[in-house]
Structure 1
Amino acid sequence: MSTDFTAFTGLRADLMDCLQVNLAILADRHHGPGAHVVLGSELTTESTLDSRLAQASRLLGLQVVKRHDDAVLRDRATDELQYAVADAFDLSWVPYAGHQHMDHSFLFRDGGGACEVVDGYHNGTPWGDARPGVWRIPWDQLPRAAVVELAFGELPAPRAIAPFVSTVDVEAVCADVEQLVLDVWLLARARGLHAVWLDSATFEEHAREWNALAAHSYVAMRRVLRGGVLVPSVPAELTRLLQRDEELTRVRSAVAAELSEVLANPVHSGRTPLRELPGFSSFRLVDVIERVEARLGVEVEAEALTPDSLRDLDSLCGLFGSPAGSTP
């Protein structure tokens, strides 16, 4: 295996799933390093080939030209990297090989006497760690796969954060502990990439809470599979974090929208000091606070308006939301 592949530079492979990450590599090769981070603008629990292709179309300008299901890879190979999906059970370079059936994406191209495989997947498994790399695999050792011909247009216009409304049925999810672990893992990764997209310490802390639940749910699953019962703390924490998702995004979308409108300039980063924003002044900050108060139907206590709470977008949002770790 080789890790000498420039498209891995800056790739947040640790925050994406196995279908998403290789679309991200293609996006960065076309649009430039870091372009894939916009995939964090959507919070979703759905991860199928169709849903990930649709998401990449909305956010990255990717278009499906043609899809070849059950294709022989050697017949489809060219000098350019192409996107493919096959059963991980049959892919020798991933830890799932011979152990678990699941859809897994990779990139491939003609490497002369063998297939050059590029795979950005990053995850720990019971059978070892998966890490981004490049492999030369004999053609006869590769399974048939779905090969998707892709074209990239221009990047869509930057989008603002939208309030998240959970559609997760916690009781139904917790009824199947193995699906629970997968769903929480996907939720945690989505929250991590969301925090990177927002450049937000507040959302990073929230993502760490999701990661803690992912670890907790995995331990709980192992006990259930040995004949135990699911501890009540898992569904309780899942419910709390989904509620926190809704509150954080509701407040952030309101504050960012009003700040952007008052300054007549899009404001996105949670860490950029407010005083460095074009057009910012204390007079305009007062306008922003009053507009957000009206929009959210709250009133900020005068004692809360301190230099620390008026430092950046993150701290400004903190005036209108409950502290991390609490339930709204």
Structure 2
Amino acid sequence: MHNSAPLDVGLSCATHLARVPGALLDCVSDDLSLLLAHHGVRDIEEPFSVDWRFDLQEGSPEGPARVLLPVADLEERIAARTGLLLTWHAAQDAVGAVRDWADHLAAGRPVLVVGDAHHLPWLPYHGREHMDHGFVVDGAHGSLRHPQDLVLDVTDPYDNATRWGACAPLSTTITLADLAPALDGGRWGVLQKVQDIPREKEDPSASECLTENLLALRPAVKNNTYKQFCESLDERSPASWDHYSLQTWLLARSRALHSRWLTARARELSEFERNGESLPALFDAHVAEPWKRAAQSCYLASRRTAAGKGAPPSARESLERAAASEAEFADALFRHFL
């Protein structure tokens, strides 16, 4: 697009908000889900719900354990399943970024942006906490001769309760001048069709997907990765509890989302029933619910320690029970079905 051209484009991603499982995804994955919906992908939940993993990020053994969620190769897996690849770019400066965004918006491609939540006025984190937050820019209005005055349409599908109030799915507008501080050190990406990525078959069976998940989980079970995850918790440290509050929150959302996939494919997974209970019911009891309780307990511990109080002993116990329960459940599935 010519730099002097007027810009008036709105791609209306808000029409897809109801389809995005924002309450079960992190703030970047739900934006990616929204982009998939805009690009016509029929099932925008399965790319995020089908995988069951427990991998830890590699790093210093003295640092806190960090679970890789979403899965490390999510973008490549989505590309293989949909033919759409998310390509990332550094937001080196706001004006340069918006000139690139203008070209993508004019071509019908909304832009996924990750910036500092501290500077995003529609969030309860605004002015309170620095953290990465994703959102979608799906429109721009004004002149590229005066880019700072451009008005940008923003759609944000994120759904979460915070200590300062709720994040709820919404559409809003912001000028580039007001958005610019959030872009310092940020990044942005767009979904584009990629012809040279081999596509998986359209609909692999639920049994094949589950087998792949179990094979991926086996090293974590055999190598005591679940136990290692718990061992780096420092119960005296508010920062450590903050870290585990986030990690268990990610795990609880991931497992709740996978439970929805299991439920949707339950008829195909009847061979995995045990003692008359379906696999989704077993997964809920042994995996999803324990992580939900662990997330609640770790959040309470993070708030108590931040206030100078001691963490309740039940918080660590809840974390360890959830990790052990998932490991034992996965191991039982290995022994019975692989």
Q: TM-score range by the shorter chain?
A: 0.5 to 0.7
8 Å CA contact retained: 1:74, 1:110 = no
1:213–1:66: structure 2 CA closer, same or farther, 3 Å change rule?
closer
The structural deviation recorded for 1:126 is: 1.3
8 Å CA contact retained: 1:25, 1:36 = no
1:177–1:19: structure 2 CA closer, same or farther, 3 Å change rule?
same
Query: Does residue 1:228 correspond to 2:309, yes or no?
Result: yes
Q: Which moved more, 1:77-86 or 1:176-185?
A: 77-86
Structure with larger RCO (C-alpha < 8 A, sep 6+)? 2
Q: Which residue of 2 aligns with 1:43?
A: 53
Q: Which residue of 2 aligns with 1:86?
A: 115
Distance in 2 between the 1:16 and 1:155 partners? 24
8 Å CA contact retained: 2:117, 2:123 = yes
Q: Which residue of 1 aligns with 2:134?
A: 105
Distance in 1 between the 2:193 and 2:331 partners? 32
The structural deviation recorded for 1:48 is: 8.0
Distance in 2 between the 1:101 and 1:155 partners? 38
Q: Which moved more, 1:105-114 or 1:56-65?
A: 56-65
Q: Over the residues paired in the alignment, what is the CA RMSD in angstroms? A: 2.9
Distance in 2 between the 1:8 and 1:197 partners? 20
Give the fraction of aligned pairs with identical amino acids, expressed as a percent.
Answer: 25
The structural deviation recorded for 1:218 is: 1.4
Distance in 1 between the 2:116 and 2:17 partners? 23
Q: Which moved more, 1:192-201 or 1:228-237?
A: 228-237
Distance in 1 between the 2:283 and 2:85 partners? 31
Q: For 2:121, what is the secondary structure of its paired residue?
A: coil
Distance in 1 between the 2:328 and 2:40 partners? 33
The structural deviation recorded for 1:222 is: 1.9
Task: Name the TM-score, length of structure 2 as normaliser.
Answer: 0.66
- Structure 1, unmatched stretches of 5+, are 256-291, 296-328
Q: Which residue of 2 aligns with 1:136?
A: 173
The structural deviation recorded for 1:65 is: 4.0
Summarize the alignment of residues 173-252 of structure 1 with structure 2, pairs less than 5 Å apart.
173-175=233-235, 176-199=240-263, 200-205=280-285, 206-252=287-333
- Structure 2, unmatched stretches of 5+, are 1-11, 55-66, 143-150, 264-279
How many residue pairs are counted as aligned between the two chains? 255
Q: Which residue of 1 aligns with 2:154?
A: 117
Q: Which residue of 1 aligns with 2:62?
A: none
Distance in 2 between the 1:197 and 1:174 partners? 34
8 Å CA contact retained: 1:7, 1:28 = yes
The structural deviation recorded for 1:30 is: 2.9
1:39–1:49: structure 2 CA closer, same or farther, 3 Å change rule?
closer
Distance in 2 between the 1:245 and 1:58 partners? 28
Structure 2 residue identity aligned to 1:109? D
Q: Which residue of 2 aligns with 1:266?
A: none
8 Å CA contact retained: 2:115, 2:134 = yes
Structure 2 residue identity aligned to 1:27? L
Q: Which moved more, 1:169-178 or 1:245-254?
A: 245-254
Task: Name the TM-score, length of structure 1 as normaliser.
Answer: 0.68
Query: Which one of the candidate residues 200, 205, 221 is aligned to 1:156?
Result: 200
The structural deviation recorded for 1:26 is: 1.5
Query: Does residue 1:170 correspond to 2:230, yes or no?
Result: yes
Query: Does residue 1:67 correspond to 2:89, yes or no?
Result: yes
The structural deviation recorded for 1:87 is: 0.7
Distance in 2 between the 1:155 and 1:139 partners? 38
Query: Which one of the candidate residues 11, 23, 34 is aligned to 1:25?
Result: 34
8 Å CA contact retained: 1:181, 1:218 = yes
1:30–1:155: structure 2 CA closer, same or farther, 3 Å change rule?
farther
Distance in 2 between the 1:156 and 1:195 partners? 23
1:230–1:155: structure 2 CA closer, same or farther, 3 Å change rule?
farther
1:156–1:229: structure 2 CA closer, same or farther, 3 Å change rule?
farther
Structure 2 residue identity aligned to 1:233? S
Distance in 2 between the 1:74 and 1:29 partners? 20
The structural deviation recorded for 1:18 is: 1.0
Question: 1:224-244: per-residue Cα shift (whole Å, max 9, x none)?
Answer: 223333333222222221222
The structural deviation recorded for 1:181 is: 0.7
Q: Which moved more, 1:8-17 or 1:61-70?
A: 61-70
Question: 1:35-75: per-residue Cα shift (whole Å, max 9, x none)?
Answer: 33231213353248976545644665542445233242432
1:246–1:55: structure 2 CA closer, same or farther, 3 Å change rule?
farther
The structural deviation recorded for 1:178 is: 0.9
The structural deviation recorded for 1:31 is: 4.8
1:104–1:66: structure 2 CA closer, same or farther, 3 Å change rule?
closer
1:57–1:102: structure 2 CA closer, same or farther, 3 Å change rule?
farther
The structural deviation recorded for 1:177 is: 0.9
Structure 1 residue identity aligned to 2:252? A
The structural deviation recorded for 1:107 is: 1.0
8 Å CA contact retained: 1:71, 1:147 = no
